[in-house]
């Protein structure tokens, strides 16, 4: 693969194919997040399937915000959060707020997270996922004006923490290959 030449000098302009390839690689994190969110809505008749939507959304936003924050900026995270609200029957803005908060935490901690290994990233994600699940639960209670049992929030947090390694392994491979605009 041809890498981008960083030496000063005159270089020919990138072809249309290369520019499209770079755009596709740069948009991979957002597109795969939306596709995985849509896949969680398939009628699979799994018990607790409703917890998969926020789990996948939180895991995707966390991973790409830590490892490639430029590919998933807040202007992209916001519509993903609104899509999560619409698909998960949440009050409008709850998912967007939560995903933007997770994105902010991940980008703020990305330097310290990158120095640690995967276990450190996963531990910090577990705390962020638990806080995000409780935030969703509290906001839904406040916006619907009724008390809700905390068990779905706890279950969502557990599913989110458990599913993160399943997302992180293929995302790490994609981060080094197909999602890398430098390899276009």
Instruction: Name the token pair of 89.
Output: 């029957």
Task: Give me the residue spans of the domains in the chain.
Answer: 16-42+49-183
Write down the pLDDT at residue 43: 92
Task: Report d(CA 45, CA 8) in Å as an integer.
Answer: 57
Write down the pLDDT at residue 116: 85
Task: Report d(CA 55, CA 161) in Å as an integer.
Answer: 8
Instruction: Name the token pair of 158.
Output: 């557990």
Calculate helix-pair angle for 52-67, 16-39, nearest 10 degrees. 150
Write down the pLDDT at residue 171: 94
**Cβ distance 90 to 144 under 8 Å?**
no
Task: Report d(CA 134, CA 127) in Å as an integer.
Answer: 11
Task: Report d(CA 95, CA 78) in Å as an integer.
Answer: 9
Q: DSSP states of 39-77 as a string?
A: HTTS----TTGGGHHHHHHHHHHHHHHHH-GGGS-HHHH
Q: What is the pTM of this model?
A: 0.89
The CA-atom distances, in angstroms, between 12 and each of 1, 4, 15 are: 17, 12, 9
Task: Report d(CA 104, CA 100) in Å as an integer.
Answer: 6
Would you write out the chain's pLDDT as a tens digit for each of its 184 residues? 455 666 776 666 778 888 888 888 889 999 999 999 999 999 988 888 999 999 999 999 999 999 999 889 999 999 999 999 999 999 999 999 999 999 999 999 999 998 888 999 999 999 999 999 999 999 999 999 999 999 999 999 999 999 999 999 999 999 888 877 777 6
């Amino acid at each position: 693969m041809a890498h981008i030449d960083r030496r000063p000098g005159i270089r020919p302009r990138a072809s249309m194919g290369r520019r499209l390839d770079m755009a596709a690689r740069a948009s991979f994190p957002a597109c795969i997040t939306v596709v995985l969110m849509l896949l969680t809505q398939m009628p699979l008749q799994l018990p607790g399937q409703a917890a998969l939507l926020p789990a996948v959304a939180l895991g995707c936003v966390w991973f790409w915000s830590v490892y490639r924050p430029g590919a998933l900026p807040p202007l992209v995270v916001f519509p993903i959060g609104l899509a999560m609200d619409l698909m998960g029957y949440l009050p409008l803005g709850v998912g967007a707020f939560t995903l933007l908060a997770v994105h902010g935490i991940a980008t703020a901690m990305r330097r310290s997270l990158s120095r640690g290994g995967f276990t450190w990233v996963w531990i910090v994600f577990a705390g962020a996922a638990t806080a995000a699940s409780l935030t969703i639960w509290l906001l839904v209670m406040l916006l619907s004006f009724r008390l809700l049992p905390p068990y779905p929030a706890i279950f969502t947090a557990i599913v989110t923490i458990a599913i993160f390694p399943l997302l992180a392994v293929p995302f790490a491979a994609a981060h080094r290959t197909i999602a890398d605009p430098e390899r276009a």
